[in-house]
Amino acid sequence: MDSKQLFAYVYERVSENVAVGDDLSHFELGMLYECGDDSIPIADIDSVLAEWFELAGEPYFNELCAGVPPELKTDNAGYERHFYRDDGTLEQNVYEARWDRFVEGVHYKHRYFNAEATEFLDSIFSALVAGGDQLKAEVVRTIRPGDLLFRARQAQSQKQAEEIYRDPARQFGPTPKHLASSQRMTPNGISALYCALERETCLSEIRSITGDQVVSAALTPISELKLLDLTVLRRVEPPALTLLDEGFRESLHRKVFLDSLVKKMSRPKARNDDLSYLSTQVVFEYLRTRFGKYVDGMVFPSVQTGGIGTNVVIFPEASRLSYTPSVDPDPTDWPEQVAVPSENPFGPPAKLAVVARSIRFHKVMAIETKAMEYDHIYSLFMSDLDRKRLGPIF
């Protein structure tokens, strides 16, 4: 290889994969130079090439250092250029900035045909793909026949509770399209099946209040369900790249961002903000379109339980339920339960079944509130970034 071509490639990787002052926040720079913090490694260009890129032993090393472009030697102010080792945890994550532009774009620019949003989401979720469009095994959760999901509905009267009890496949199925309102993952008119892995979680997720009557039931897959598990995104390892590979630094930033994406997807809707769910709805539609032939839905934490419970949303095309009453019904059951409800023969085959005798009736007696207590008003309104800087005690 021609030396000029080789050296140009190395200099490009330095510019791409190593952070400079503009890539650090004012806080990080202040901590480094004014407070003596040594958590972020600093080096000049010769040390970067010799130690970080491990090229000191190469026969061309002296020639490589001699040909370094001026912009890699001095900064815009004329001082010696400093470089900073970036493991993806610097405050100015490139994917965080792109996420902000993505949210801005789907809110106020191009909502339905947005090539920039598609390109951004392709870049994020490329880390989940093993080959072609196949998802990596570590991000797929399998729900097998006999495993339970739970779904709940509020009952305004005894008559409505009886209707739910007598026809659970229809009543616990997805909301009819003409009644489907805007939800975390789906906009008006698109109906998906929202469930939970725990009965208590689904009671919390329907926003029941004290005094409400609720009917819940267990569901189980008729055949295996494959779900994209957003709760394990932190397990996705970046490609095995080095500083000499294209995309090394970006892959580290993507890994850190993926760990925070689940919080963005689970964040509750802001009061009086009809656009709050737009970004998560676009992400859901993207995942459904791209990976729908491999998975039937998604798993994400329940914000209503403080992340303790786990939610499941089934893609619309896999949301149909079936129900077969127990062959040996409980003698206290209403006679109407024994009759098999009619099903639409022209619909897609059901993926889930309501478990016989799993229906329960609930009277909400109290709602538990959990809150973090602070000593000062500034702690209450502190940003997540400032809280991270100051440590967990804040």
Spatial CB neighbours of 345, under 8 Å, sequence gap ≥ 6: none
DSSP states of 193-245? EEEESSHHHHHHHTT--TT-EEEEEEEEESS-EEEEEGGGGGG-PPP---TTS
pTM: 0.84
Same-domain check for residues 226 and 357: yes
On whether residue 312 sits in a domain, the answer given is yes
Q: Which pLDDT score, from 0 to 100, does residue 193 have?
A: 93
Q: 29: how many CB neighbours lie within 10 A of its CB?
A: 16
On whether residue 13 sits in a domain, the answer given is yes
On whether residue 342 sits in a domain, the answer given is yes
Same-domain check for residues 226 and 241: no
Q: Which pLDDT score, from 0 to 100, does residue 328 have?
A: 47
Half-sphere exposure of 240 (CA within 13 A, CB side): 0
Same-domain check for residues 19 and 80: yes
Q: Total domain count for the chain?
A: 3
On whether residue 44 sits in a domain, the answer given is yes
Q: Domain containing 295: what range?
A: 141-230+276-363
On whether residue 387 sits in a domain, the answer given is no
Weakly modelled stretches of the chain, pLDDT under 70: 269-274, 326-348, 392-394
HEC profile for 38-89?
CCCCEECHHHHHHHHCCCCCCCCHHHHHHCCCHHHCECCCCCECCEECCCCC
pLDDT digits (tens, 9 = 90+) for 75-129: 888 899 999 999 999 999 999 999 999 989 988 888 778 888 899 999 999 999 9
Pick the closest to residue 318 from 181, 132, 129, 143 (CA basis).
143
Same-domain check for residues 192 and 220: yes
On whether residue 239 sits in a domain, the answer given is yes
On whether residue 173 sits in a domain, the answer given is yes
Q: Which pLDDT score, from 0 to 100, does residue 179 have?
A: 77
Same-domain check for residues 10 and 146: no
Same-domain check for residues 287 and 169: yes
Same-domain check for residues 16 and 112: no
Same-domain check for residues 169 and 187: yes
Same-domain check for residues 300 and 215: yes
Same-domain check for residues 209 and 281: yes
Handedness of CA 66, 71, 72, 76 (dihedral sign): positive
Same-domain check for residues 257 and 350: no
Same-domain check for residues 346 and 198: yes
On whether residue 115 sits in a domain, the answer given is yes
